[in-house]
Amino acid sequence: MPAASNRVTRRRAILSLGGIVLSSSIARWGWADAAPAYPAAPSIPADARIVDATLTAAPRWRQLKSAPSAILDYVDDGPVVLRVKHGDWLRAKLINGLEEHTSIHWHGIRLPNAMDGVPYLTQSPVQPGESFTYAFQPPDTGTFFFHPHCNTVEQLGRGLAGVLIVDGDEARPHDADLVLVYRDWRIDDTGQFMPMITDAGAAKAGTFGTHRTINDKVRPVYGVPAGGDIRLRFLNLDMTRIVDLGVIGAEAWLIATDGNALPPQKLKAWRMGPAMRADLTLRAPARAGDRIQIVNYYAPEPVVMAELEAVGPTRDRPVFEPVPLRPSRIPAPEIVDAEVFSLRLAAATAPNASADGDLPPDLVLPDGEVLRYADALCLNPDTFWSFNGRSWPMQSHEVLPPPLVTFRQGSSYVIELINQTPHMHPIHLHGHTFKVLSSSKGEVVPHFADTTLVAPKERVRIAIRADNPGDWMIHCHIVEHQDTGMMGIFRVA
């Protein structure tokens, strides 16, 4: 595997040119005197039902085009789908077979802070050859995924991600349950990766892939039982691409967003940014050989991403009606009287991070050297984006900026996401699932989510019950935007 991109190397060089020595003893700002104290891992009760998994992050060959590509994955034949029943514990051992550190973030799972997989914030990075075991009991049913939170542009860009399904939400079982992972690969005709991040892309809508796949195949066709009821779990695991999910050839209903049940909504098109998931229910054609198309309407002409073909004898089923999933367990935020926190999504100001005037004091190193916050964090020429005037300093970096906001544990908040840019931003919160309440651009179907897409000049109001203590990430899930500044920490205490 090639080492980290030039871009990252350039940034590291810039950092060390400043004469700054970053050791793990100053991993958190102002913690000059102590090693980082990471949150404590939950302990597994003796009577827990445990599902074990081993995930070896490593370079692997995969045939995407005519020549094989050197991708990264946890298994040889991806994408890996882990399945647990609600109530089970998942115990997943990550083995790092890469040449750089990694971690696993369990996207959308409301788990204890220690298991959230953010290097330097919730755990030490897992170094090459090392392992780390994640163990948690997913509190919610639904369709989730996991991915590294280290050099995400390269690691996720080359394929490192998997699906986690927590079963137990169906009041009536489906005849088939299909997982469709959408993603592009940035490869050329010989299967070689092209640069994952470009300045032009990072400063705009992101750098797009060249090869569109569902489950690593181009326009695959899946057999489904004729006349049967089908559950489709669609995950947008691309780093950049927006999908307007639609179905041609059947009446489909949206039954879950980011894994969370909602009253079935007849599907016209559902807009999904990177990291967003949608569960659909539909009836397969009664006649064997007939097909349904799963399409992306976010294009001049609808793009067919995958097809379903009815196979076998026709199931004898009553007239189709979408059966709702069991209601979600997300604690309802108390919206009346909730405090409002405004988060402005904007381009970076230069030198960034000073807009709010609430930066921490300079850090005095043990040898008396004074480390200016601005020098350590802000001289990043690759920064394009900010939250409330502050840009995240750098990916995979040991010095963390202070939280953007502290929420009182147990209180509810309305967060207003204000997009001041001409680009889309799918905004993701760790550790919490929020309710999408309203948009300045028109009606929204109220729904629970962990990632929501905010359009240019749009304001979206979401609400959370801040009930999960710890320091959590909030960021744009267009990974280049995350990598070039649009990321921060919110604290629940």
* Residues in touch with ligand C2O (CB under 6 A): 105, 107, 147, 149, 275, 428, 430, 473, 475, 477
**Residue among 307 and 382 whose Cβ is closer to Cu ion:** 382
Which residue is closest to ligand C2O by CB? Answer: 107
In the complex, minimum distance from the CB of residue 354 to Cu ion, in angstroms, rounded to a whole number:
21
Partner in contact with 478, chosen from ligand C2O, Cu ion, none, beta carbon below 5 to 8 Å by kind = Cu ion
Residues that bind Cu ion (CB under 5 A): 425, 476, 478, 481
> Looking at beta carbons only, is 208 or 320 nearer to Cu ion?
208
Task: Return the one option of Cu ion, ligand C2O, none that residue 475 interacts with (CB less than 5 to 8 A, by type).
Answer: ligand C2O
341 is written with which tokens? 């926190």
As measured in angstroms, the least distance from the Cβ of 239 to ligand C2O is: 10
Of 149 and 233, nearer to ligand C2O (C-beta) is 149
In the structure encoding, which two tokens stand for residue 321, read together? 């009606």
481 binds, among ligand C2O, Cu ion, none (CB under 5 to 8 A by kind): Cu ion
Of 112 and 191, the one with the shorter C-beta distance to ligand C2O is 112
Question: 423 vs 430, which CB is nearer to ligand C2O?
Answer: 430
With CB cut-offs between 5 and 8 Å by kind, which of ligand C2O, Cu ion, none does residue 430 bind? ligand C2O
Q: How far is the CB of 238 from ligand C2O (least distance, A)?
A: 12
Q: Identify which of residues 150 and 305 has a Cβ nearer to ligand C2O in the complex.
A: 150
Residue 233 interacts with, from ligand C2O, Cu ion, none (CB under 5-8 Å by kind): none
266, 269, 271, 277: CA torsion to nearest 10: 60
Q: Which of 227, 38, 19, 46 is nearest to 132 (CA)?
A: 38
Report how far Cα 175 is from the mean position of its chain's Cα atoms: 29
Strand partners, 63: 68
Residue pair 461/416 in contact (Cβ under 8 Å)? The answer is yes
Q: How far is the CB of 74 from ligand C2O (least distance, A)?
A: 15
Closest separation between CB of residue 331 and ligand C2O, Å?
21
> Of these partners, Cu ion, ligand C2O, none, which one is at the site of residue 275 (CB under 5 to 8 Å by kind)?
ligand C2O
| CA-derived radius of gyration, the chain | 22
